[in-house]
Structure 1
Amino acid sequence: MSANKQPNIVFITTDQQRFDTLPPYAPTFLRTPHMNHLMRDGITFDRAYTSSPICVAARASMLTGKSPWNHHILGNQETSKTIGREGTLPTLLHDCGYQTAAIGKMHFGPERTRHGFDEMILPADYYIEMEKSGYPLKPMQHGLGQNELYAGMATVPESMTLTNWTANQCVSYIRDRRDPNVPFFLWCSFSKPHPPLDPPEPYYSMYRNCPIPEPVISDWSENDVPVAMRRHRESWSDDLVPPEVIREARSAYYGLITQIDYNIGRVFGALQDLGLFHDTLFIFTSDHGEFLGDHHTGCKQFFHEPSARIPFILRLPKSWKGRRFGERVEHLATHADILPTVLAAAGGKAPSDCDGENLIDYLDGKIKNPRKYLEGTIGNILGDNPNVSYLGITDGEFKYMWYPEGGSEQLFDLKNDPKEMKNISKSKKHAATKKRLRDEIISRQKERGGLFLKNGDLEILPLKNDTEKERRSNPWPGYHTEFFHVDVRH
């Protein structure tokens, strides 16, 4: 595939959107016409995963083209602790002659850190604008936290929500604020469907009477939960949320996705008005998923399918010779692939320390040894006490996770058990598969200086002495007002 000129590039991200909110996995009633448009006119990477199912670590990979192990952010640590301006996606695009804009949730730290973007407009600007507007209704006044698995309703009309405002800021950039003589890169970053689960009407009521899928409850999630995961769900008490409340939460979650989708149509319209839509390159993805009650769990963090598997679509410009479209590929894709793919389209070259793959080259068959595995983890390796909750890896057919605390493990056959209902780590039939994946993790950790290994094997840590009562008294529901100084107001 080849280009006649540098394309404009629109990178659309959502926050906390599960892979199964798009066809063929989504409920048939879920309305996502504009995301579906990209799928029909693009390439869907069906086995896309985040390497760290949490906001900052995932976005750092988008920004740098590196895995969390190499940009050194495995959790929600401040990006500026390890990332500056040099070598970032916007800086490298600037070297290619692009103007760059980031609009919406970035979760860079400190909040106004640009990492090389020419222009950046954040949710903080929305809340400042709303506070100064004099409008009697204010957003996010329902009292729900940023991590709660409870449905509510927006406290402003749809046209005044953060989702609508983000789309309109993108429309304004496309129409009014960019230099028409040079190509542009626009990161359009929606803060939803991350909680609070508070869609406005008509989206709040849109799916309330639909056959909402029930949460997936596996055998292991009842009686054989890894202690790190048990601590997470008991700390947040997600396992105590009643089924009828989970159903309302899922309905609201779907409503937020449709609201985003319809607002993406506004961005498409701005491009179409100016004759730019067909020859714009689009990438659509999310930073991570959301358990939504699956396995008695909420939020994200762990490497299971609802949390770590993400939508990932590449729509190439229609003018490109030999472009592919309307296809699904099984190749393992991840956020680190965005930087080399975008730079290739822009006529640039990824840095030598980039971990990602140029997906355009992959589609053209130019990558001799495409990746065989993707890793997943969450933790903190910046301080004097490095730690991880788990070490995970997948080859797209099987998935293995090691939990250092207590030394427990999980193995799933994704082809025959896509909902991860049965932990087969003790199965003799799959012993060789488990050893292969486990050995791959050990080999990679040896290359990292033996981190989280002991005597050449995966480290086992003693169980902490916290009780269930103590865990439930230390939740993190994300209580914030609209005045908080970190980019976590959704």
Structure 2
Amino acid sequence: MKEKNTKKFSSEGTSAGKPLYDKPLPGKPSIGKPSPGKPNVVFIIADDHRGEAIGAFGNETVKTPVLDSLAADGTSCRNTRIFGGLSGAVCAPSRACVHTGIPIFRAMIGKDMKNREHSSVIRPDVRLMPQTMQDAGYLTHAIGKWHNDKASFARSFGGGDKLAFHGMSEHTSVPVYDYDVTGVYPKENEYMEHTFSTELFTDAAVNFIENYQVDQPFFLYVAYTAPHDPRTAPEPYASMYDKSDIQLPPNFVSEHPFDTGDMTVRDEKLAQWPRDENEIRGHIADYYAMISHLDAQIGRVVEALKAKGIFDDTLFVYTADHGLAVGQHGLMGKQNLYDHSVRIPLIFRGPGMPKGKQELALASNIDIFPTVAGLCGVELPEETEGISLCPIFAGESDVIRNIVGAIYRDVQRMVTDGRWKLIRYYRSPETNTGTERIQLFDLLNDPWETQDVSADPANARVIEQLASEMASWMQESGDILQDKPVNPVAPLA
């Protein structure tokens, strides 16, 4: 792999030969502003940022002034969960759900859990969010992580920079590509960047905004690799949180009480067993440091938009591919269906968005694409299955979904109606892991999911109703386990 120094955009174009967006279209003035009714879009997706780890959402420890400001000036969808994934690398299928607005069983090329390609390659006949925006007249530009196949990327973006096709890397040794007009991205064109990843991608985003002068709305996609491990934030952020001041979450336990079906996946090996309180405090401090550094870098993107005079003309979207346990429930990773792992931040700020609202309507990450399209007046592909949140933003409805479900491999399924949440665990015939059992949580009175109330006879009707909802949802989604009984097994004592 060749080495290459970080470079700025210039009017000469990228090293791959793709011209930059600093020249007006023929016969049009060079104003850099969107067309009426078509706002610019800055779509930011983080890696591993769980839904509650933002100051504006009630977390009193983590410092996120920029995201707090975006939330105060826009609308936050607080009850958004990911669809899930069929492998431990939940990032790739989760991003595919965001890109396509389709459940992973129909968005991906196959359902073989042991085939890593099937967990990342999007079907060639499916149109993606940036592809759809491009077809609607948007200039699409990508920066950062694309954890799906290169073919789906190539048909979605007309430009890009610092493109990372790997799932993760050291934050100061980031293998990237320049934009390739051929869409091939041969391995020999990959090179290493040593600027910290969050700053590297932000530099590219800021340069794009500063140089953009085309009389055409843009869709700028910025995909960070933070706060994913290794959690090695640069100073002064690395020292921002003293682990001795970190309070353990209410659902911290030293060991998970039963086999979830994937207890020794890579993420779970990041801390010793049983979990040590002091070690977990250190992990949380490092996690928050990464988030605060990310927040500051997002602030640079905001300031670039303001300096350009287009911030108020831009739809700003912030979300994440999934959450993370970091010690909650005795777990470290995202390979589970507790809310710390499936609930994600989702903030919309821009033209026409209500200010300072925190919506609690149930939503799935397959609803993000339809919502962005709706806010931009863009027609959706026929195959899109997600539901737009726009009626909720407009005050026309309080609900778009009665239930939301999520999956993990062949060992876990979840459904929630917002108040109650049922998790069904299976024993995998493929890996001979997992436990046949259920959990039921009352999220209204137990948001940290500390008390499994499935054994309470008073909740039998709730379990029956949610089990029925889960079975229907699995069938509608094309779930690989749709023919497997969902009838609740007896809860364990």
Name the residue aligned to 1:336.
366
Unpaired stretches in structure 1, ≥5 consecutive residues? 131-136, 142-157, 380-387, 461-490
Other structure's SS at 1:160 match:
coil
Contact 2:141 2:159 in 1 (8 A): yes
1:31-430 aligned within 5 A: 31-52=63-84, 54-72=90-108, 77-78=117-118, 81-84=121-124, 86-110=126-150, 113-122=153-162, 124=164, 139-140=172-173, 160-176=195-211, 178=212, 180-208=214-242, 211-217=245-251, 222=255, 224-230=257-263, 232=265, 236=269, 238=271, 239-317=273-351, 320=352, 323-366=353-396, 370-379=400-409, 388-405=410-427, 406-430=435-459
Q: TM-score, normalised by structure 1?
A: 0.78
Q: Are the counterparts in 1 of residues 252 and 327 from structure 2 also a CA contact under 8 Å?
A: no
User: For 1:51 and 1:279, how far apart are their aligned partners in 2?
Assistant: 31
Q: Give 1:325 shift.
A: 1.0
| 1:465 corresponding residue in structure 2 | none
CA-to-partner distance for each residue in 1:222-241, whole Å, 9 max, x for gaps? 57424415455996374334
Q: Structure 1 457/61 Cα, relative in aligned 2: closer, same or farther at 3 Å?
A: closer
Distance in 2 (CA, whole Å) between partners of 1:237 and 1:249 is 9
Shift of 1:11: 0.7
2:324, 2:140 → 1: CA distance?
Answer: 30
CA apart distance, 1:250:
1.1
- Inter-CA distance 352–362: structure 2 relative to 1 (3 Å threshold): farther
Q: Counterpart of 1:199 in 2: which secondary structure?
A: coil
SS in 1 for 2:360: strand
- Partner secondary structure for residue 430 of structure 1: helix
How many angstroms apart in 2 are the aligned matches of 1:331 and 1:293?
28
CA RMSD of aligned residues (A): 3.2
Find the counterpart in structure 2 of residue 467 from structure 1. none
Distance (whole Å) between structure 1 residues aligned to residue 330 and residue 394 of structure 2: 42
- Normalised by the length of structure 2, the TM-score is 0.77
- How many residue pairs match? The answer is 419
Distance 2:331 2:120 in 1: 31
Looking at structure 1, the residues matched to 457 and 487 of structure 2 have their Cα atoms a distance apart, in angstroms, of: 20
Unaligned runs of 5+ in 2: 1-34, 175-192, 428-434
8 A contact 1:105–1:191 mirrored in 2: yes
Instruction: Using the aligned pairs only, state the percent identity.
Output: 29
Residues 120 and 111 (structure 1), Cα distance of their counterparts in 2 relative to 1, 3 Å cut: farther
Inter-CA distance 122–55: structure 2 relative to 1 (3 Å threshold): farther
Q: Comparing 354-363 with 55-64, which one deviates more in the overlay?
A: 354-363
Distance 1:240 1:110, change over 3 A: farther
Q: 3-state DSSP class of the match of 2:413?
A: strand
Secondary structure, aligned partner of 2:224: strand
Partners of 1:328 and 1:235 in 2: CA distance: 32
For residues 375 and 211 of structure 1, what CA distance do their matches in structure 2 show?
Answer: 36
Distance 1:39 1:211, change over 3 A: same
State how far apart, in whole Å, the 2-side matches of 1:234 and 1:328 are. 31
- SS of corresponding position for 1:377: strand
TM-aligned CA distance change 1:429 to 1:90, over 3 Å: same
Q: In the aligned structure 1, how far is the partner of 2:45 from the partner of 2:227? A: 11
How far did 1:327 drift?
A: 0.8
Q: 1:101 to 1:56 in 2, by over 3 A?
A: same
Moved more, 23-32 or 46-55: 23-32
* Aligned counterparts of 1:120 and 1:170: Cα–Cα separation in 2: 9
The verdict on how the C-alpha distance between 1:272 and 1:254 changes in structure 2, with shifts beyond 3 A counting, is: same
**Aligned-pair CA distance for 1:363:** 1.8
Higher RCO (CA 8 Å, separation ≥ 6 residues): 1
Q: What one-letter code is carried by the residue in structure 2 that aligns with 1:276?
A: I
